[in-house]
Amino acid sequence: MSSSSNTPVSLREESLLGSLGTIWARSAALCALVPAVRVCTGRIPSTEEYEMPYVSILPGSGSSAGRTDKTRMASLAVTFKIWVKESQVSEGEAIEAALEDAYCDRSWPYKYGRVLDCLDQGPGIKVQADRPEYRAWEINKIVVVKLERRRRPLCRRGASSGSGTSSASSTSTSSASESSSGSQP
């Protein structure tokens, strides 16, 4: 997806992480730096299997910001872990810049609602991995996505319109009478 194109409708059918991966796969600028086959959501299975550079997209913790009768607002930190060879730190910085262009200050639909905004949290945190089997840089780029999630309708089995109450809304008096009547679970 180029920065000037509209978001494809098929993102509506994907989870949040799926939509993040699809946006990467549709960005010519990002795929020129890291092919979509080297981008995964979740943890990388084994570093020996992936040629650098590669990226993993990891969700962090979220917080609820409010709700209405039909939607719930939330914020979620997402970390893009960019791995490059020790000699390619400038390439990692280019990936980080292309990532900002593709995701930040954008909105798009996803399966459970809509990303209202994707906020850049500043420069990525660079950590140098110095292991005998490989020497590399890990750049942790954090963004915060502001989400509007659709609330799921309550399932009301056996309730007719306007009549009857669920057991959760029963009064303590009716609960006491049920327990004294010897009803079985």
- Would you say residue 126 lies in a domain? yes
pTM of the model: 0.72
pLDDT digits (tens, 9 = 90+) for 96-144: 999 999 999 999 998 888 999 999 999 999 998 877 777 888 999 999 9
pLDDT digits (tens, 9 = 90+) for 20-64: 999 999 999 999 999 998 998 877 766 566 788 999 999 887 676
The pLDDT value given to residue 153: 60
DSSP, collapsed to helix, strand or coil, labels residue 153 as coil
Where residue 9 falls among pLDDT bands split at 50, 70, 90? very low
Where are any strands of DSSP class E within the chain? 39-41, 54-67, 71-85, 108-110, 113-120, 125-130, 135-150
CATH number where 67 lies: 3.30.2000.30
Where residue 164 falls among pLDDT bands split at 50, 70, 90? very low
- Would you say residue 109 lies in a domain? yes
Write the Ramachandran bin of 22: left for phi over 0, alpha for psi from -120 to 50, otherwise beta: alpha
In angstroms, what is the C-alpha Rg of the chain? 23
Where residue 152 falls among pLDDT bands split at 50, 70, 90? low
- Would you say residue 132 lies in a domain? yes
- Would you say residue 45 lies in a domain? yes
**How far is residue 158 CA from its own chain's centroid?**
36
Domain limits for position 33: 9-154
Residue 1, Cβ neighbours under 10 Å: how many? 21
The gap between the terminal CA atoms of the chain, to the nearest Å, is: 56
Interatomic CA distance for residues 119 and 47, integer angstroms: 29
Q: How many domains are there within the chain?
A: 1
